[in-house]
């Protein structure tokens, strides 16, 4: 399964790149899919957080992302760093006290707010102190209507006008003469398609987690166990915990550590977004099985050795096939995750005791028993306990795959 999106540049009066508008796609066809705005927004945020990463989309520029009223009320904008995004309120959202309250909160939190395909109504005047950009559709707006908007915002010089759907040199010249600040449309560039490998945590797992986090007393141990049996969900958790919205980053050594760093409120928001985005579950089953086998085997090896943290070993095994799952280098994957340096060193440079565990599991997977025995001896493990550890790991992974399929 892949995550698709498109981005269209937004330029300044000097034709310099100011931002991109990020547009959700559900396939290689570069057109908006037949889904409602709530789902499109949810999946756009999910993809930008867990599949691409906003830096991959935007570089050092801003990103305009469309929001419906329900997604605003669910506080989805707060999952995105204010330094990287513009909250674009869709034209289908009607002005109301509820929307005004959301705009006030977003502005107080430092977000840039834009109104999409603006059609002037006097009630919008209440919003002007909190609005930064007004987008006007050149396909549907007359010169008279645009002048009406200019007059309405004349007392609010902080509001900039963006000419949208500019497709001819005449429209561009008109927008320039009328004092527009930003420009977007086919005259400059059509949306550019982007694609990334998308991961899909099982919806049954999400339901279970949503249920567990709704309890008055959260059982952190049980929640940790649920995450540890789904490599996709664990990866998304780690990506989210490494987001720029969390100022105090720390190296994460275990899944439990990531949950503690995230906190209960952010965890609930994270899970609700994943659930709302209606992710499919067509993940590569054998890679999932191998990842879980490696995770449990590394955990068992750490227990046999007695000097390495078992949870850290588990996470190393779980992440060791992420390059194959995502179709990108393990170095690129590790750059995106806030993992402990020992884990990154093991997976990228094959150094340290954790790298030895991974080398041993690879020898077992390839039935290279001579190499396996050499590694066992080098690691100082009790030789007769290792085969049982591998058998336990395989059995555990099979049980988890069966549970996820039910």
Q: Is the pLDDT of residue 353 over 90?
A: yes
Among 51, 404, 43, which residue's Cα sits nearest to residue 202?
A: 404
Going through 92-143 in order, the beta strands assigned E by DSSP cover 112-115, 133-137
* Strand 192-197 with 17-25, pairing: unpaired
Q: Which two structure tokens, joined as six digits, stand for 299?
A: 């955990």
The pTM of the full predicted model, rounded to 2 decimals, is 0.60
| Residue 21 clears pLDDT 50, i.e. is over it | yes
What is the pLDDT averaged over residues 388-398?
Answer: 85
CB atoms within 10 A of CB 220: 13
The burial class, CB within 10 Å (0-12 / 13-18 / 19+), for 383 is exposed
Question: Quick one: pLDDT band at residue 280, thresholds 50, 70, 90?
Answer: very low
- The pair of structure tokens assigned to 406 is 């039910």
Half-sphere exposure at residue 229, Cβ-oriented, CA atoms within 13 angstroms: 23
- Find the length of the chain: 406
- Confidence band (pLDDT; 50, 70, 90) for 275? low
Q: Tell me: the pLDDT tens digits for 298-330?
A: 989 999 999 998 878 888 888 888 877 766 788
Residue the block writes with tokens 């502005």: 107
Going from the C-alpha of 3 to that of each of 187, 197, 234, 331, the distances in angstroms are: 27, 6, 18, 21
Q: What is the pLDDT of residue 43?
A: 65
Q: Which fold has domain 2-196?
A: TIM Barrel (3.20.20)
Compute the average pLDDT of residues 184-198.
62
Beta strand 160-164 with 182-183: parallel, antiparallel or unpaired? parallel
Q: Is the pLDDT of residue 292 over 60?
A: yes
Q: How far apart are CA 65 and CA 84, in angstroms?
A: 10
Among 138, 251, 132, residue whose Cα is nearest residue 186: 138
pLDDT value at 251 more than 70:
yes
The residue ranges of every structural domain in the chain are 2-196, 199-276, 285-405
**Residue 223 near residue 209 (C-beta atoms within 8 A):** yes
Give the pLDDT confidence of 45-100 residue by residue, as tens digits.
665 655 556 776 677 889 899 899 998 998 988 888 899 899 999 988 999 999 99
Q: Residue 360 corresponds to which tokens in the numbers above?
A: 């041993």
Highest mean pLDDT among 10-24, 36-50, 82-96, 282-296: 82-96
Average pLDDT of the chain to the nearest whole number: 80
Residue 290: pLDDT band with limits 50, 70, 90? confident
pLDDT of amino acid 339? 76
User: So what's the pLDDT on residue 105?
Assistant: 96
Bridge partners of residue 89, in order along the sequence: 67, 115
pLDDT (0 to 100) of residue 2? 47
The pLDDT, as a whole number, for residue 273 is 57
270 or 10, which is more confident: 10
Q: Which residues pair with 161 in a beta bridge?
A: 134
Residue pair 55/20 in contact by the 8 Å Cβ criterion: no
Place of tokens 């085969």: 387
DSSP per-residue letters across 309-323: -HHHHHHHHHHTTHH
Q: Are 57 and 20 in contact (CB under 8 A)?
A: yes
Residues paired with residue 2 on neighbouring β-strands, in sequence order: 197
Q: What would the two tokens of residue 137 be?
A: 């559709």
DSSP state, residue 252:
B
Q: Looking at residue 278, what is its pLDDT? A: 39
Checking if the pLDDT of 391 tops 90, the result is no
CA 405 to each of CA 28, 201, 273, 391, 401: distance values in angstroms, whole numbers, following the listed order: 29, 11, 22, 21, 6
Q: What is the largest CA-CA distance in the chain?
A: 85
Residue-level pLDDT at 1: 47
């Amino acid at each position: 399964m892949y995550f698709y999106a498109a981005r269209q540049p937004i330029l300044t009066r000097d034709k310099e790149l100011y931002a991109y508008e990020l547009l959700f796609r559900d396939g290689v066809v570069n057109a908006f899919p037949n889904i409602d705005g709530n789902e499109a927004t949810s999946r756009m945020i999910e993809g930008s957080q867990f599949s691409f990463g906003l830096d991959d989309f935007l570089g050092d520029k801003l990103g305009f992302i469309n929001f419906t009223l329900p997604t605003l009320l669910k506080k989805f904008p707060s999952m995105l760093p204010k330094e990287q995004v513009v909250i674009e309120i869709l034209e289908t959202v009607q002005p109301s006290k509820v929307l005004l309250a959301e705009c006030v909160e977003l502005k107080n939190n430092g977000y840039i707010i834009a109104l999409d395909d603006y059609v002037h109504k006097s009630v919008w005047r209440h919003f002007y102190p909190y609005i930064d950009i007004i987008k006007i559709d050149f396909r549907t707006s007359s010169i008279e209507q645009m002048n009406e908007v200019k007059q309405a915002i004349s007392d609010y010089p902080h509001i900039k006008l963006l000419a949208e759907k500019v497709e001819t040199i005449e429209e561009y010249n008109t927008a320039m003469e009328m004092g527009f600040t930003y420009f977007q449309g086919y005259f400059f560039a059509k949306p550019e398609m982007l694609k990334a490998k998308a991961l899909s945590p099982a919806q049954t797992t999400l339901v279970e987690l949503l249920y567990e986090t709704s309890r008055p007393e959260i059982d952190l141990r049980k929640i940790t166990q649920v995450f540890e049996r789904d490599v996709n969900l664990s990866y998304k958790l780690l990506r989210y915990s490494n987001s720029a919205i969390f100022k105090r980053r720390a190296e994460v050594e275990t899944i439990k550590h990531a949950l503690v760093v995230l906190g209960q409120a952010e965890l609930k928001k994270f899970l609700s977004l994943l659930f709302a985005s209606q992710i499919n579950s067509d993940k590569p089953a054998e890679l999932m099985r191998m990842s879980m086998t490696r995770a449990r085997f590394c955990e068992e090896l750490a227990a046999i050795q007695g000097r390495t943290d078992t949870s850290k070993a588990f996470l190393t095994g779980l992440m060791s096939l992420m390059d194959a799952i995502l179709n990108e280098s393990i170095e690129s994957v590790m750059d995106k995750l806030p993992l402990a340096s020992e884990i990154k060193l093991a997976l990228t440079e094959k150094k340290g005791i954790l790298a030895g565990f991974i080398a041993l599991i690879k020898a077992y997977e390839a039935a290279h028993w001579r190499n396996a025995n050499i590694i066992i001896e080098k690691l100082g493990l009790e030789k007769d306990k290792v085969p049982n550890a591998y058998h336990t790991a395989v059995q555990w992974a099979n049980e988890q795959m069966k549970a996820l399929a039910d």
